[in-house]
Amino acid sequence: MSTGYQYLEPQALARVKNLQMVARGVVEGSITGLHASPNKGFSIEFAEHREYVSGDDPRHLDFKMLAKTERLYVKQYEEETNMRVQIILDTSASMGYRYSTGISKFDYGCYLTAILAYMMTRQQDSVGLTTFDTEIRLDMPARSSPRHFHEMMERLEAMKPAQETGIAETLHLLANRFKKRCLIVLISDLYDDQDEIMRALHHFTHCRHEVIVFNIFDKAELEFPFEETIAFHDMETKERILIEPDSIRNAYLEEVRKFTAGYHRACRESGIDYVLTDTTVPYDYMLTRYVAKRFMAQS
């Protein structure tokens, strides 16, 4: 069985098919479904069609579409979506790092993006995708139609990691842009000034958005398994440095510990979910474990 999409694996879909990502706060939508909403009824501004699913109000069926396609579609309006989810994917050059035969951090992020988008679309939420390095390279607004999902997968497959990183500046720009409350999902190695990134994440929470951060590493970045004298190349600045691993291992590992602990503590204090993972952990397993923990915290 094939999904037809590079980053959407049938085995992973089978493992997450019963997962539901529920908003912690009130969301600005009106579909009867998973999330609490402050709105009642439907907006008058038509947005798009989506396929009919069991439980939809038959009053919103589009019979002209039925006549044309012989399939059931409902009219979807601007205020109708349950939850708006904006996935923000770091596509800077450092995300392209891969040690040995594993997958790169970038590919791991793409797999995670695809399966999250699938989950959200399946539960009738709208999903958007923003990618960035020093600039925003792709900015797809949140929608929930199959056509939108298909375009998102195609655009994802065409991306390559490149350029340096400008995380904080990008997040501030986006926080000013998203006017309605939504779930922000940041997927990145977070290789930028930590204080600046946290200030940018606070910008989202100040605007009443909910935030989840998936901090992705290659396992070699966490464990530093190098033994022989080796030349390291900065994938963004192209700087090259020759080192003796034994001479810096302890100091390096301590800096990594401080780096991840700092994000974990700052996010916890700010009400932001922080998920640390590496590319050897199956992304569907990691996501299943996270959603289960999230569900228990809400119960």
Profile the chain (299 residues) by mean pLDDT over runs of 10 residues: 86 87 56 43 56 72 82 66 88 94 94 95 92 96 92 96 93 91 96 97 96 97 92 83 93 97 98 97 95 79
Calpha distance 238→253 (Å, rounded): 23
Q: Are 191 and 94 in contact (CB under 8 A)?
A: yes
Superfamily the domain 10-22+81-298 falls into: von Willebrand factor, type A domain (3.40.50.410)
Chain-centre distance for alpha carbon 137: 15
Looking at residue 66, its pLDDT comes to 78
193-219 burial code (b ≥16 CB/10 A, e <16): ebeebbebbbbbeeeebbbbbbbbbbb
Neighbours of 253 (CB within 10 A): 13
Q: Where are the alpha helices (DSSP H) in 91-241?
A: 105-122, 146-157, 167-177, 194-206, 219-223
Looking at residue 41, its pLDDT comes to 41
Looking at residue 39, its pLDDT comes to 45
Q: Backbone phi, then psi, for 144, in 5-degree steps?
A: -125, 10
Whole-model pTM over 0.85: no
Looking at residue 263, its pLDDT comes to 98
Domain locations along the chain: 10-22+81-298, 46-77
Looking at residue 28, its pLDDT comes to 47
